[in-house]
Amino acid sequence: MSKYDDPVLYYQDQIDLWETELHQETDVAKRAVCIQLRNEASAMNARYQRILYKFLEQGFGLTLRSRNAYCVVLEDATEPGRCRYQMFNSSGFIGHLTRDTPEEVLLEAFRDGFRDIESSDVLGQLCGTAEWERGTLINDLIRRVNQGELSHKDAGELYEREALSA
């Protein structure tokens, strides 16, 4: 693994590269661009390092926020030895991403916009709501249609029946 493959150093590597470019560049306008990009990478690095540090303190279960969505960093139950971040919002689980290490997962989550540490148990707060239950039902019906278990018509009828009984 080269130093550029280390997810912990991802933004620091960018800072170093822009700093090197800055020292080699003689054009004033290009130097200004190098400074701007170095400073942007530095700001990103500071936010990213806070998340890495929080993961060192808390470990798996760390929850990050991106506007109206969240992700929680977990050991991957379907691929032992790997890690994942599981995305969710108020209407249920919306996807996941799996990588080999927690640092790789954290970098991908950060790059995907999950840049704020969530201090509350937002998953626990959302999972019992009517919106979550409705979203979970919809996700299951979509899965069943995609797997050929249900037709679109049958899924629609099941949804109406379930939604009316709730």
Domain boundaries, the chain: 3-126, 130-165
pLDDT of residue 43: 95
In whole angstroms, give the CA distance from residue 85 to residue 33. Answer: 34
Work out the pLDDT band at 55, boundaries 50, 70, 90.
Answer: very high
Extract the tokens encoding 40.
């942007």
* pLDDT tens digits along 104-115: 999 999 999 999
- What pLDDT score does 122 carry? 93
Position 158, amino acid: L
Whole-number pLDDT of residue 166: 61
Q: What is the pTM of this model?
A: 0.83
Q: Is the pLDDT of residue 47 over 80?
A: yes
- CA distance linking residue 41 with residue 98, whole number of Å: 25
Q: Predicted confidence band at 68 (pLDDT cuts at 50, 70, 90)? A: confident
Nearest-angstrom CA–CA distance, 90 and 153: 26
